[in-house]
Amino acid sequence: MGYNCVVLTKQVPDTKAVTAKAMKDDGTVNRAALPAIFNPEDLHALEEALMIKDQYGGTVTVITMGPPNACNILRDAYERGADRCILVSDRRAAASDTLATSYILSCAVRKVGDFDIVLCGRQAIDGDTAQVGPQAAEKLGIPQITYLEELVSLNNNHIVVRRNVGNGWELVQSKLPVLITVIDSANVPRSPAAKRIMKYKKARAAIEVKKEIAGENNADDPEIAKQIEQKCNELKAKGLLIEHWNLDDIDADLQWCGRDGSPTKVHRIQAVVLKGEGHKQFEPSEDGVRELVHELIEEHTIG
């Protein structure tokens, strides 16, 4: 039997490519100065889904919420093996915090419908909150298992996962459907595949087609609108039209979306510089080691 997997992904600024221009004067991220990439741990979530498909069959659907250029990671997902990719994009979703984002994504997952496993990366490298996955599970009303390091077994609608809890691991069993967040030691993401690259490099969402064809001109001009429609139909016939859902498409309640749905307020931003605080020596003896361990426990470094 197969399992239908839905992978929630995010396009993020590449924080490894940080330069002096990475921060605006007001302390927020200057997204234009950083290349946009597939959030690294989301690639591990996608790989886990593809491995489930390879072994058991089923489908892999990838959803991302973001501006139209987030289609770049959807094309990447197609090239690595996704069956279906959906862009959730709507101006009214701008400024969503994790609560609003997880609400919108859960609406999109509901619209996809017949799913067994929802997979997310543990966290995104821009916000590092690790909240969207768990919150989406709550909103979908399904169990969640975070920090998947190994999928131990999957059968009879039950899944067993080894989750990494930092200083050890737990084996957790859940019934399906379930939401899982994946960490980077879970697997090695496969490369995009050559033939899929050759095909899916041409995939576009209608909103991209509109921009490419209309350019600076008025997209409502009948001649241009016709061209856009024609191109979209062509793409659709070839399976290359990336689905684009707005908030109405996914029946989202607008009061839970965007700024209105986001209780998070940035109160203050503080630059923290970590400094070394000198060092302490211990005798290389039984007593010395005991003393060291004791101190580490007291400081909650271990234990």
Is the separation of the CB atoms in 105 and 10 below 8 Å? Answer: no
Question: Total number of residues binding other proteins (CB under 8 A)?
Answer: 14
Nearest CB to other proteins, comparing residues 156 and 191: 191
Cβ-based nearer residue to other proteins, 23 or 188: 188
Residue closer to other proteins, measured from CB, 152 or 198: 198
Helix-helix angle 71-80:40-56, to 10 degrees: 30
Residues within window 237-256 making contact with other proteins, judged by CB under 8 A = 238-239
**Nearest distance in Å: CB 238, other proteins:** 6
Interface pattern 198-237 for other proteins (x via CB under 8 A): xx-x------------------------------------
User: Minimal distance in Å, beta carbon 189 to other proteins?
Assistant: 10
Nearer to other proteins (CB atom), residue 37 or residue 142: 37
Could you tell me the two tokens for 269? 């931003």
**Cα angle 263, 268, 273; round to 5:** 130
Beta-bridge mates of residue 170: 163
Region 78-97 residues binding other proteins, contact defined as CB under 8 A: none
CA dist 65 → 95, 104, 126 (Å): 12, 8, 15
3-state SS assignment for residue 36: strand
Residue 48 backbone dihedrals phi, psi, to 5 degrees: -60, -40
Binders of other proteins among residues 180 to 199 (CB under 8 A) are 188, 190-199
What distance lies between CA 241 and its chain's CA centroid?
Answer: 21
Decide: is 18 part of the binding site for other proteins (CB under 8 A): no
Give the residues lining the site for other proteins (CB under 8 A).
188, 190-199, 201, 238-239
